[in-house]
Every structure is written in C-alpha cells, then in structure tokens.
Structure 1
C-alpha cells in the first residue's frame, strides 16, 4: 500500500521521491535557507509517525534509511522504529542496512554508500477482529524514505482529536541518546500530556533562525514551546548583545501567527561543561582515542565578561526577555530547565557524553515536563 500524507503525522512536509515519500520537519522554502547541518537533521524524522486504525495483527513497512557520521568518530547505533498500539509500545526494530554518509573532519570530504529498501515486519501482539490505533514512530537519528506499508487487515488514516504541541529545541529535543523513537523525552511528554507532537528539535541547530520562526508561525498549534540556549553557546554563534534581541525577534514572528496561543520559553538544562564556560563545543580528543564520544567546552571562562555566552548568562537573559514581554503577553510562560534536569540530578542520571541525557534520563525529562506543563498544577494545564 502506498504511504500517503494522510498516514503521516508530525511532519511539516512530505517530499515525493521516485520510490516513496520522505518526511521533512521544515518546508522546502525553509530548507533552501538552511545550512548543511540543519538540512541533515530536519530530514531525520524525530517525532514523526505513521498512524492508522486497523484490526491487523501484523504490519510490514518497507523503507530505506540514510545514516550520517564522521570519519574517526564512533558511529551511532542504527535508528529504532517503535510500534505503539493504543499508546502501548509493542514492538521495535531497526533496518539492517542504510545509505552511509561519512564526512572527514580534516578534509571536509564526504563519501556516500548505496543501499536497497528493506522490509520490517511487526507483530502487533493483539488478537484480530478489534480495530485499534496503531502508530509507527520513525527513528530520530537517520533520514528515512518510506516505500510502502502492508497489513493482514485493511488500515485507514486516523488522527486523534487532541491539542497540537509544537516544540522547538536542540539535539536533546530531537532525541540524542534516547533508546528509540517513541522514548525521546518530547514523545514521552506528549503521550503523558495527551497532545499531538510536532517536534522541531534540530541537533546542533536551535539557533533562532528566522525561517524556523516563520515555519512555527504558519503551523497549527494549541501550545508552542521554545527551548533555546545550549546550541547558541556550543556553536559560539553570537554575543550577549545579539542574543536577547534575536530571541525577541523569534518570538515576535511566532506571535504574528499565534497572537494568543500559549507560548512557553524553556531555559537550558544543566550542562556542566557549559555552565560557566563559553563555546565552541568540540569532541574530546582523549575520549576519541579510546573509541568514546564525549564533548568539551573549548572557550575561556574569562571571555564571558567581554560578551561571550555561557548557560548561566543565557538563563539570565531569557528571564529578562520574559519579564519585558509578560506585561503585554499574558499567554507567555516560562519553565526553568533546571527543574527538568539540574545539578542535583548528575549523580543519579549522569550525562554519558557530558552533554546529552541517556535513555533513562529522557524518560525522566518527559515525565517532569508533562507534570510541570500539562499537569493539574502545570504551567498550561488547559492543553490537556
């Protein structure tokens, strides 16, 4: 069966290819304005899922993946597809092969392999004859071309009548180090909050790009959250003079399309290497020599006095932006990222690469966000 746009949820745009469809998290006009890094990660379908109602007991998906990596850096594990039936995880699988794209950090040279589409068959673990809601969540760490889907019973597109949550963030929001597609913290929070997720978490690329603000402006949304700061610091992208005006501008554009929609600003999670040290971020060469991936902050803490940004400064400036706007924007809210992951969590939930949470911490983040935002006493309980 051909995969149509009606079956795909959480994507901003569907690209028709020669053999199938490719979900995107930015529209084509915005992709033309993006750099190579953002072009790469927006095509990785974090939060995107195939959704349908069916009495099927078995589903087969044909797909082809593209996986990106760096020469000399340990490769990520293959992305994981998750299957949920009526909201419960019943099966997971990965494609055994993929188009492999490798970049040499010393020369900039990129090599590309080829791969054929592959089939994944999922046993849904249910008896036939009863129609259920089935979702296939697509991997967050690899681009996926969807070829076809077949089942042992007819399937029909289905969308839950739930509020839509549009979230903008960094690689942590996209899913880095989560166990699988449906266990990213944003996916966990969406299920607990009873909302439909559009995940605009872009690895290394939550940089307040104006075209992303215009994309959010034009999307349907009942709640919008903007989690920003870590990529501004680790990319060493701007100085303090530029950050607050850029954030104001980003929010102004969103408000052009969503003047009254609840809008939540989330400050950065605790990150030990960048709390009081500016970027740029870099791979830890000693760890690479041991076959590990870890990150370091390569800036000088003394440079914060001259305008470079660390996370402590980012949080203070977000506080100021919220204060300056709140009198005229009663639907603007703020969530302290340290309430999701703070210094006190480091012992029980250490960051394995000194930057990204592990699988258990993703679950913790999702649970805490759902409680802080969607709970009875949360920041925006009306979206539940």
Structure 2
C-alpha cells in the first residue's frame, strides 16, 4: 500500500489518455468513452453502451522518472448465467514501448447477464489498486493499457516521481471501426488484440472503435469517424449485420454508401480501407440471427449457432458471402472516383486453412493465437512496404 508522503497524486485528465474520444466524470473518478457524448445520446442499445465504455485501445500515456506506479480503478466485470466464469481484465504497463508488467484488478462492479432471458443485473463493488514497481530509473515514456473488455473507471494515479503528458510520438493516427473481433474478443490482453498488434507492427497510433456486437452501420458512428482526426481509416463491416439479422440486401448497399459518404465528409482524401468479414463457417452461407448454444456449457464451452435458413438469401437475407460480394462491388464502383478507397477480403486475414488450424472456439470469435495471426497479416498487407497504407 502507498503512504501519502511518499507518493505524488496526479489528476487523471484527457491529456493523459490516448485512444479515448471522451471522458466522463463520475462519482468515483473518470470513465473513458470511445464514442462522444452526442453519439451516446442517440444510442438506445445497452449492448453498444456497454461496448463503447470498454476501453479497447485506451491507455494512460505519460513521461516520468518514477520507478513505481499505482492506479486505483473500479472495473465492471461481466458474468453470464450458465457460462464459465470470465477471466478478469488485464492491464499492461509499457516502458518505452516494451511490456514490463501485467496485472488485474480485484473487486469492482459485476454485471450478471442472462442471455436466455435478456436480463442484466448490476451489483456494486469497491475500487481496487494496481501496483507496478521496480521500473527502470531515469526519464521514460510509460503507457498503461486498460483492459479491452472491462469497463474501467479511473479513480487515482500515483507515482513516486512527477508525471507529465507523453510527448506527441509523431506517428500517423489509424482510426479503425469494427465488431467484437476488432474490439478484442478473446485476445490475451489489450496490447494483443489484433488492431493493437497491427498498430504496433505498423508504427501507427491506434484509435480503436471496435464495438462488440455493434458494428451496425449506425449513422452516429459514421459521424464519429468523420469528426475524429486521423491519417488512415479502416472499417470492418459484416459479421454483426448477419448475427443480429438487422437488415436485408436492399437496405445494406445504400447503408454502406451512406456510411462511407459520411466518413468522406470529414476525410475526403485519407486512405480508407473497407474490410469484409473474416471466415466464420456458421454464417458463410447461412443467415442469422446467431444464438447461444448451451449444450456444451457443462464442459466449460459456450458456443453460438446460426438460426437462419440457407435458402433465405434468395429473399434478401444477408450471409457473409453475400456481404463480401456487395462490399467488393461497392468499393469497385466508388473507387473510380475515389482512388484512396480500398478493399480487403477478410479471408486474407483469417481463411479456410486458418479455420482448420485455429478454429473459432465459440464458432464466432478468434482466440488469442488467431488474434495474433490476424494482426500480423493486417500489418503485412496494409502497413508494410507495398501495403495499402504504405
């Protein structure tokens, strides 16, 4: 535990945070958001409200000579009725770009979700303290990455030497939007979600607007992308539209055009990459919705299954193959007048051979090893010499 005379308390302000688009002041401290207040006010979906408040890609960034750092934090953990317990969220501390510590917070609030009933119960808890000690001496750049999958209220930051905001690293800013796979799903930690890994390999600054279950072509998300300063932009579209069974082909094409039109209002010439879904066998040719399958819960496995009929695409229902074909068509059409618009087939990141070697454990989400593969391939195809964003 800390002693007051030995530690320096630094207020947690927006200039210490990267990857967040807004900061809400709560009774406990500050809550980073990945959607601005105006967008949140237009949202009525509790799934998106939960997802955007989970700080995937958000990190405290500061310069200090401290050899010890403490963070008081109030996490909100999730528990699913009938499913195995979820691991606690992981915090990772980087010094000059290298991971030197990992920790999880005890205590906190709990959301108990009953997917079969569609109910959520909130149980209040107390903040916990993380401590990272024995850091290298001398001035250094420190980043403390918050859990990608656990809502995190930041209560207090303490160090044994003064803190100042980290200097601008001078790297290009990559703004990315996608589904739970981009959010991080079952990655091992916040720096190894596939977007975080790709950003590190590509030498860019990440703003991750991957929202679990919520990449649904919402206009307020498009406006957020439009209004967020960025040098490089990518949007990964498809899986949530299928597993939510949200729209038909007639609505999908115009919605994609409208989404891209809005992004282009704020970024008329920035490189813009449209990424179609990675391989997901249950939805390649079978529409949604997706539903949880509890038949293997006793073995510690929660699976998902496709509830649609493979004959339904003839009537306009969406599958992943339908979406890929339509996205490729739209990008080809638009790129005649927009040479900075590009398309990437998600199966180039995770395809049939990968599905055999690294199958999706719950039929929807890649595991930690697959996240690493997707991130490495994205960096190679997009950020490396000769890549889309090179």
Name the TM-score class by shorter chain. over 0.9
Task: Tell me what 2:69 maps to.
Answer: 59
Q: Displacement, 1:88?
A: 1.0
Summarize the alignment of residues 194-205 of structure 1 with structure 2, pairs less than 5 Å apart.
194-205=203-214
Q: Distance in 1 between matches of 2:123 and 2:376?
A: 39
Give TM-score, length-normalised by structure 1: 0.96
SS in 2 for 1:89: strand
1:47 aligns with 2:57: yes
Q: Name the structure 1 match of 2:7.
A: none
2:284 to 255, 275, 282: 275
Match of 1:296 among 278, 302, 305: 305
Residue among 129, 153, 164 paired with 2:161: 153
Structure 1, unpaired ranges of 5+: none
* Distance in structure 1 (CA, Å) of the matches to 2:85 and 2:216: 25
**2: CA distance, partners of 1:166 / 1:287:** 38
One of 131, 153, 156 as aligned partner of 1:121: 131
* Mapped pair 1:37 → 2:37: no
**Preserved CA contact (<8 Å) 1:59 1:124:** no
The Cα of 1:325 is off from its aligned counterpart by: 0.2
Counterpart position of 2:152: 144
- Does residue 219 (structure 1) correspond to residue 228 (structure 2)? The answer is yes
> How far 1:106 moved relative to its partner?
4.2
Q: Whole-Å Cα distance in 1 between the matches of residues 81 and 367 of structure 2?
A: 24
Superposition RMSD on alpha carbons, in Å?
1.2
Q: Deviations over 1:33-62 (max 9, x none)?
A: 221110110000000000011122211111
Partner of 2:365: 356
Measure, in 1, the Cα distance between the counterparts of 2:182 and 2:362. 16
Aligned to 1:206: 215
Q: Deviations over 1:167-218 (max 9, x none)?
A: 0000010000000111111000111111111100000000000000001100
Distance 1:104 1:337 in 2: 32
| Alpha carbons 1:85, 1:124 under 8 Å: kept | no
Corresponding residue number in structure 2 for 1:330: 339
Q: Which of 289-298 and 94-103 deviates more? A: 289-298
SS of the equivalent of 1:31 reads: helix
Residues matched between the structures, number = 379
Q: CA deviation at 1:285?
A: 2.5
Equivalent residue number for residue 140 of structure 2: 132
Cα pair distance change 1:161/1:232, threshold 3 Å: same
SS at match of 2:382: helix
TM-score by length of 2: 0.95
**Does the CA-based 8 Å contact 1:65-1:98 persist in structure 2?**
yes
Task: Give, in whole Å, the separation in 2 of the partners of 1:257 and 1:324.
Answer: 21
Report the equivalent of 1:3: 12
Structure 2 unaligned blocks of 5 or more: 1-9
Provide the C-alpha distance between the structure 2 equivalents of 1:293 and 1:132, rounded to a whole number of angstroms: 43
Which SS does the other structure have where 2:283 is aligned? coil
The 8 Å contact of residues 66 and 101 in structure 1, kept in 2 or not, is answered as: yes
**1:177 paired residue number:** 186
| 2:259 is the alignment partner of 1:250 | yes
